[in-house]
Structures are given as C-alpha cells and as structure tokens.
Amino acid sequence: MPGEKKTTVDLLDQLLQIIDELYDHDEAKVKKNEIRERNKDKQIKYVEDSNLAKHYEDAKRMGIYSLSEKRDQILMWSHYADHHKGFCIEFQRDDSEYNFLSHFMCRPVSYKEKYPNLNRILDTFEINLYTKAIDWRYESEWRLVFKEGGRLFQVPASITGIIFGLRLSDENKSRIKEAIPNNKSVTFYQASRKPGAFAIEINQIESVN
C-alpha cells in the first residue's frame, strides 16, 4: 500500500490512540492490554490484517448521531424533517466534560470525489466513520460516534433553540414546548418561505400557542 513504511510499534501506537479516545480510562486500559498481548512479537502484516478485521466488526456495532452546521438547507428539511412538517434542534457546543459535541468523537464529515487510499489503521477509522461522497456535501454534516448503537442516549448538549418547520402543526408546536424542561432558556424560531426564492428563512418568534 502507498505511504511511508511503518513498523509494528507505529501501528500499535495508532490503535492505542483510537482506544484511548473511544473508551473511558479503565475500559481503555483493559482493551489496550489485550491488544498488546494479542499482537506481541507478531509481524506487521498480522497486526494490520487482524486489527483491520476487528475494526470493521467493531464499526458495525457503533452508533452515529448526525448533526448539521446548517439550519436553513431546504433539502435537509425535505429529507429529514418529514417534508418540513418536523423541527430542528439547536445545541450549544462548548468545551466541557458534559458536552458530547466537544468530544474527540464528534467531528465534521469530509467529502471526497475519489475514494481515499487506506494507508494506516487510523486512516481506515477516519474513512469508515467520517468520510462521504462529495454529492452529500450540502448536508455539512458532523458526526458524533458512540461505541454502541441501537440505544437511547441523553441529548448530547444543552438545547438552545428549536426551529419549527414551515408545515409543522400548531398542536405539535405546543407539544414540543411542553416537552422541553426549563424552556425559558430555549429560543423558538419559525421557518418560512423566502419570497422569490427556492429557500427558507428562519425568524425568532416571541411565543408559541
């Protein structure tokens, strides 16, 4: 494969870096010991092949929480908000222990015209979880990756705003407002058609009936 010549030590260092970021301290320590023991005195091809296979198996169990930088992308509202009958949640992203959006595993997606070369274990990790075809770039997606999918998790950060879709019913607007505790700290917005354009605009609203 292309790229700089690597050694078993280099490869293991990359693997251990991923483990440190994916798991809490105690669990990471156990898993790193397992990796060191399993690959002790092994040739680099064995380490590469066996751990690539394990990475793909682990990736199948991971969960991805998808977010976007854009709140007024009309295609996003059509595809992911029931043709404008849904709503958009705005989160606060800050550098704190309890804000998942500041975690190493929350990163922007990279959009590529060509499928990248797989140079290292770390490259494979990045490509598998954080790379998409360039046709998807309108989404401006960020991904928060969890080590296990198919489960309910708490919201990743404080909710700062709710944007109502232009076709969201008044009944559902009231339900959303009632469902959010301490909603006085949440700003509500309404999406509406932008005159003379195939676009929407977002405006703050004072109250929700």
Q: Digits of tens for pLDDT over the chain (209 positions)?
A: 444 455 666 666 767 777 776 677 787 888 778 777 776 766 666 666 666 666 667 777 888 999 999 999 999 999 999 999 999 999 999 888 788 898 888 999 999 998 776 655 556 677 778 899 999 999 999 999 888 888 888 889 999 999 999 999 999 999 999 998 777 889 999 999 999 999 999 999 976 55
How many domains would you assign to the chain? 2
> Which of 133-136's residues contact partners 24+ apart within 8 Å by CB, and which partners?
136/109, 136/111
> Whole-model pTM above 0.85?
no
154 in a structural domain: yes
Q: Whole domain around residue 42: which residue ranges? A: 8-61
Q: 172 and 184 in one domain?
A: yes
Q: 13 and 84 in one domain?
A: no
C-alpha span between 131 and 125 (Å, rounded) = 10
1 in a structural domain: no
C-alpha span between 18 and 117 (Å, rounded) = 19
3 in a structural domain: no
Q: 108 and 166 in one domain?
A: yes
Are the C-beta atoms of residues 120 and 11 closer than 8 Å to each other? Answer: yes
